[in-house]
Chains A and B, each alone.
Chain A
Amino acid sequence: MLEHVVNGLVLGGTYALVAMGLTIQYGIARIMNLGFGDMIIAACFATYVLSTTLSINPIVSLLIIVPAGYAVSDVIYRVLMKPLVDRAPDDGALEVDSILVTFGLLFVIQGVLLAIFGGGYTSYSFLNTPVNVLGTVVAGNRLLALVLSLLIGGALVVILFRSRWGMILRAVALAPHSAPLFGIDTDRAARTAFAIGGAMAATGGVVVSMFQTFTATAGVVFTMKALIVVILGGKGSVPGAIVAGLLLGLVETFVAAYVDPGLTLAAVYTVFLVLLLVRPNGLFGKA
């Protein structure tokens, strides 16, 4: 029983880590980023290349890849998203436009990765060391994902709710149209939020690459998992993403242990669909 809780939380840590960036992009920058998973995959490949060609330790490569993720996302926002935000007559229109544009972005990133790395499986071994947690042996790299997601999540919550800067971001998320009246630069705030989301996709990619086999076209799997976590947790809610991520990990593990491993994903989608019907705004969402 306890072992399943530990395994479930460790698995959920990965989901939470991957989903936090998306929830910030969607909740604050109001961009539904379907290319999010492909950014994760790009970071996976970047880690792999740095580790195999320059023998840079994947943890050290966080120092390179995470700022790169921030910078790339900043540029993407300026070039692709800003014009859409400016022209959108209402939130619905922006949502549709951003879905379509990031869908295109998904294919571009995927196509570039395919052209460079081909369609084959990539995987390597790092930090695949047993760590004993409350009597259950878990993989060090997966535990790292859980620890990182809790640390980053905690830091984000503190920033969002305790700093002036966080207040600005939250104001933009809640009332994008009235925020400028208070002298808030909504464009800058949204861009920053989008870039932070990109940096977190990069973080997720670096960590995930340590234990998961990836291919150039696997991004959509991450996007969907992250989307489910985001919607479950409530859009824009960092604590929601963490709780929902851990919850999904627990659901998968318990279904695998007590029901049937073949039904783990069906169970996840059932939980998701039922919760969506009962609480359409997610666990931590505001109506």
Chain B
Amino acid sequence: MMKTSHGFALAGIAIILLAIAPLIVSDYWTGVLLGMTGYVTLATAWALFSGPTRYISLATVAFFGVGAYTVAVLNEALPYPLVLICAAGIGMVMALVVGLSTLRLAGVYFVIFTFGLAELVRQTVSWWEVNVTYTMGRYVFLPFEGRHIYWQLLALAVVTFLIAWTIGRSRIGLALKALGDDETVAAHAGVDVTRIKLLLFVISSTIITLVGAIQAPRWTYIEPSIVFNPTVSFMTLIMALLGGAMRLWGPLVGAVPLFLLFEWLSVSFPDHFSIILGLLFILIVFVMPNGVLAKIEDLRKRGRA
């Protein structure tokens, strides 16, 4: 058994190594680290809510896009830190409204609802830009290079892990375990199910909004079809599920290899990316239905037996 302090020391070293990496590696690898850190944060934040509640959310890109768009709209009007705070605030309010109105839906209805929400937000933003502000594309000229964005994302990732870790150890964490096992039992045992679900949804969505906001300066030009790209929701989902959404490290274990795999596929098989991706997906479901971590534990148990 390893002590918590050892774990922290180890994590600390890893973070320092990751933080100095862009000073050593090329811009391309910084870009890869950036994209990877973005998805690790997205997947961890996603699992924060969807793991214990087992609600499969496809609204990731709704919040991600809102974050990016906030930066696009405000980047010339406000100093950058204030822009980020605004983005987080908007994401939080949106999550509260959505959470209050939808968290009683379950199963596939929630899935479809969240996808619909992402589309609705995109259509509304488009319509607003076209008919009210008369602008479609917006420019973000912030003096950030890849590594600046990467450092911000890395910091956000660390915060996200700390939040997930704290929740896992707190009283809420215990309540969540009950919630995941059986919502009715949890409710009878005095757990305020709705409040906890809402709290998690808001925290998770705010982090996702911030990821979008931080990544926005990377593209210079922002329009709804660029930032509300549904692929973001799908990628986040599959990464978290692959690693195992119920575990703290699950999303990370899913996001890192999948991201590198996608990168490798687009480098080596640019013309057959879709087919290989699809086949892999099917394979994952058949071979590792509960995620990589569960599969490893399973194998280890069997090895001991």
Contact = CB atoms under 8 A, between A and B. Distances in A.
A168 B112 CA distance: 29
Interface stretch (A6-14, A111-119, A145-153): A111-119
Interface in B259-278: 271-278
A266 B275 contact: no
Interface residues of A, number: 42
B80 interface: no
Interface string A103-124: 1111111111011000000000
Interface string B120-139: 10011011001100000000
Contact of A104 (B54, B115, B130, B281): B281
A83 B230 contact: no
A107 B109 contact: no
B299 interface: no
A220 B230 contact: yes
B126 A111 contact: no
Contact of A262 (B54, B130, B273): B130
B278 A105 contact: yes
B170 interface: no
A266 B285 contact: no
Contacts of A106: 278
Nearest to B125: A266
B124 A108 contact: no
A100 B272 contact: no
25 contacts: A83-B286, A92-B107, A99-B56, A99-B108, A100-B285, A101-B285, A103-B234, A103-B281, A104-B280, A106-B278, A107-B278, A107-B281, A108-B275, A111-B273, A227-B112, A228-B112, A231-B109, A235-B108, A262-B126, A262-B130, A265-B123, A269-B116, A276-B113, A277-B101, A280-B105
Q: Max chain B CB contacts within 10 Å: which of A104, A114, A228, A277?
A: A104
A276 B109 contact: yes
B136 to A, nearest CB: 12
Given A104-B277, A227-B112, 15 more contacts: A83-B286, A84-B285, A100-B285, A101-B281, A101-B282, A104-B285, A107-B278, A108-B282, A228-B112, A235-B108, A262-B126, A265-B123, A269-B117, A273-B116, A273-B120
Interface in A76-103: 80, 83-84, 87, 92, 95-97, 99-101, 103
Interface of A: 32, 80, 83-84, 87, 92, 95-97, 99-101, 103-112, 114-115, 220, 224, 227-228, 231, 235, 260, 262-263, 265-266, 269-270, 272-273, 276-277, 280
A266 B271 contact: no
Please give me the 7 A-B residue pairs with the lowest Cβ-Cβ distance, nearest first: A104-B281, A107-B278, A111-B274, A111-B275, A108-B278, A104-B282, A269-B120
Interface of B: 54, 56, 101-102, 105, 107-109, 111-113, 115-117, 119-120, 123-124, 126-127, 130-131, 230, 234, 238, 241, 271-286, 289
Nearest to B279: A108
Contact of A260 (B109, B131, B241): B131
Contacts of B102: 277
B50 to A, nearest CB: 11
A26 to B, nearest CB: 8
Nearest to A262: B127
A95 B281 CA distance: 16
Contacts of A228: 112, 116
A80 B120 contact: no
Given A273-B113, A273-B116, A276-B113, A105 B282 contact: yes
B272 A115 contact: yes
A107 B105 contact: no
A217 to B, nearest CB: 8
A115 B234 CA distance: 22
Contact of A99 (B111, B124, B274, B279): B111
A28 to B, nearest CB: 15
A111 B277 contact: yes
Contacts of B238: 100, 103
Nearest to B269: A111
Contacts of B271: 114-115
A105 B113 CA distance: 22
B205 to A, nearest CB: 17
Contacts of A272: 116
B123 A269 contact: yes
Contacts of B56: 96, 99
B61 to A, nearest CB: 13
A239 to B, nearest CB: 20
A260 B274 CA distance: 37
A265 B116 contact: no
Contacts of A260: 127, 131
A107 B275 contact: yes
A268 to B, nearest CB: 9
